[in-house]
Chain A
Amino acid sequence: MSNSLRASNESFHPLFYWLWALILLVILLFSKSALISLSISIGAVALVLMKRSNTYWYQSFRWSIRLAALAFTLRMAIGVIIGVPMPGQVLFTIPSITLPDLFVGIRLGGDVTSQRLTTAFDEAILLVALILIFAAASALSNPHEFLRVLPRKYYGIGLATVIASSVAPQSARSIERVRAARRLRGESSTGIASYTKVGIPVLEESLERSIDLAASLESRGYGYFPNPSRYRPHIWRLRETVALAAPIYALIFLLLLPAVSSVLLAGLLLIAVITPGFIS
């Protein structure tokens, strides 16, 4: 049992993974390369698996993976079915439907060219990477600790962020519970249909929880006094700086040397993304 006036040594600073996610986001938006999106996605998943824990915010990650898979499928399907004609080698053709004049330039079906497929894939994988970065950040950082380190001047922002970042993981738990209850009513417990009816009770519950949390913060004086003190301050240490330096270097590399091979860059980035996994 440590009695030092320090926050627990095991976890990173609560802001760390959010900054990490922000830097990766900038890299993604600057590079626009499928290879880099792919390496960031793989890195994010690998990092989350390396930092496995039993907390409820970690448990939400598998739902995020499902969400990412859904986004990927939808984007690819749209890419194949709807689109403007694009040049390139025709891979296959699906029957085309002509839309009324109102939708000029858009058509359903038609020739599917390699160009069209690559564009769809590039965008789909970008979407996946975006989802996974933020899923990783929310799976690895404790939403409550995040609230404690935010400057209390921004009471409203802090509260909104905590509610937003804790609703997803807690709802994941509620969904499991409500689905188990539904089975007790003779509802089918498999398939997509079983998810459709859990929405209302789960939303209701997370709303109630958020209101309780906000009431508790309010009645405990959160944000009312100008100079809050810290019981066990979270300290930004060397390891946080080192772990964050890796993706920052990758970003600088990307910005200064646009000509460098993207395979090399993607490889470096993969290592940069999982760096926090090796530091503990």
Chain B
Amino acid sequence: MITFTNVSLIYPNAERTIVEDISFTVNEGELLLLIGHTGAGKSSLLKLINGLIPHHTGGILTGEISVAGRSTRAIKPGELADIVGIVGQNPINGFVSDIVEDEIAFSLESLGVAPEIMRKRVEEVLDLLALAPLRRRNVSELSGGEQQRVAIAAALVTNPKVLLLDEPTSALDPIAAEEVLSILHRLVHDLGLTVILAEHRLERVIGFVDRIILIHGDGSVDLGPARQILSNSPIAPPLVELAKKLELGEIPLSIREFRKIAPEISERTVQALGKNLGDTILTINYVSASYDQDQRSKALSDVSIKVNGGEIVALMGRNGAGKTTLLKCAVGQAPLTKGEVRVKTRDPKSFTDKELIRFVGYIPQDAGDLLYGQSIKQECDLADLDNGIESGTTLSIYKELMKIPSLNSHPRDISEGQRLGLALSIILSAQPALVILDEPTRGLDYEAKKVLIKNLKKIASDLNRAVLISTHDVELVAEVADRVIFLADGEVIADGSSKEVLNASPAFAPQVSKALPNNSWLSLSDVERYLSEKN
């Protein structure tokens, strides 16, 4: 279906080639997963397949790529529209109309399909992706999962032979992600569609895929059966890491496979390190909030929570459940209609701009919003100046957090993880009592996530700060959080220890606790601690 023959790609002015002399073939009806570190070239490889590279984005391409017998070099992406569908990283940016139905029909309109056939195709796809109830809704009002489904429907409506998806689940909660993936799985099996998807969160997709393409980042790629690639890959889901840690000698791809080979581990009851919690930092009492002027729909209703110093609390829940609104309460940016918020003893609305950063450090979903310097050096100097602290402080915090890139690089050009680290050190330089992160792991690879996890733990335990994170990432929560607060429809549904809340529903249970249900472990580091104590 797709053949790469001696393909190399380099961007003008770039120091390294994205891929170099790669050749492989993808068969019809395969579900292929594309993995690699951030910036290794996953998106580029997808765009090569439908010709957006080099026709749209530029880049120097040598070798030959053919999709269903057509060469992407000879024809433009538009002429492949009937055989390749692509869904980008942010579907909302690619939407060309506002109504779900019109959005789905767009490709058919472009291809000049007759109206009667078009209506039938649109109906079929609406049913296939369970979008019929949303057909007249505005795309911008939909949740992330629904938007993702609309984008997939819009790509599928032309009956393409190949579907390309760039991180289809990174913005979704576990349940919505599951939904999207099982739809893809069904399409592959029922229609013989060829699907290639790039994804960071392997634990979500690994059970569905046939083969994996691993992009090393030095120009070479490996293509092989999932098991074979994962046995040597630096990137692997927690389940595979667990099997390696326990030296099981096999690579399990699903919980079922793991349990077949898993040993029974009798665990000496390891006393969880009793944490000394500090004073209450954040108090939210019976808060309601609404973005409507007439308060018809509530973003939050009667929410009460407390967060103490030294504690990491994770806020979970569906897209649109009110997580970000709740976080914004702490900086006085939420439209409260009722209730009170206290940071230590102060109402955040009463903070002046300079006071705010000494109480609350807040990293918004897009950490880049906080940055405006022209280089890392300038950014750190600005932060020192803003906070009135000794110059060089912010930079030394940054250096402590991670291996930093060159001081002269522009904050836009560094990796996602490095940018998050920079924002984090700027926030920390003001020494806030409460640190808030909104969806910090979106777009982070496993390596960057490990660094973040280490740093969050340090911030909470060594510096005794309160940390509040909103996230969809179950594995992150399992690693760092002491407590989980679960929101649904603006209400607190559960508030308890991570173990209780996560294990209450299979969709939210982390892989380690699903794999070893008789033990009390949630994450790999729990297992590591056990193993090191045993020896």
Contacts and interface: CB of A to CB of B under 8 A. Distances in A.
Contact of B108 (A5, A198, A231): A231
Nearest to B117: A229
A178 to B, nearest CB: 5
Given A201-B369, A220-B81, A221-B82, A215 B88 contact: yes
Contacts of A186: 353-354, 356-357, 386-387, 430
B141 to A, nearest CB: 10
A148 B370 contact: no
A216 B105 contact: no
A220 B94 CA distance: 10
Contacts, number: 164
A172 to B, nearest CB: 15
B110 interface: yes
Nearest to B361: A184
A13 to B, nearest CB: 15
B112 A231 contact: no
B112 A225 contact: yes
Contacts of A5: 115, 119
B372 interface: yes
Interface stretch (A70-78, A124-132, A206-214, A244-252): A206-214
B446 interface: no
A189 B354 CA distance: 11
Contact of B369 (A56, A181, A213, A224): A181
Interface stretch (B16-24, B71-79, B210-218, B474-482): B71-79
B283 interface: no
B56 A215 contact: yes
A226 B79 CA distance: 12
Contact of A152 (B110, B114, B356, B369): B110
Interface residues of B, number: 68
Interface in B70-104: 76-82, 84, 86, 88, 90, 93-99, 101-102
Interface stretch (A84-92, A109-117, A139-147): A139-147
Contact of A221 (B79, B115, B372): B79
A222 B107 CA distance: 7
B88 A144 contact: no
A212 B79 contact: no
A181 B370 contact: yes
Contacts of B122: 231
A142 B102 CA distance: 13
Indicate the member of A188, A221, A228, A230 with the most B CB atoms within 10 Å: A221
Nearest to B135: A1
B97 A144 contact: yes
A178 B368 CA distance: 9
A125 B266 CA distance: 83
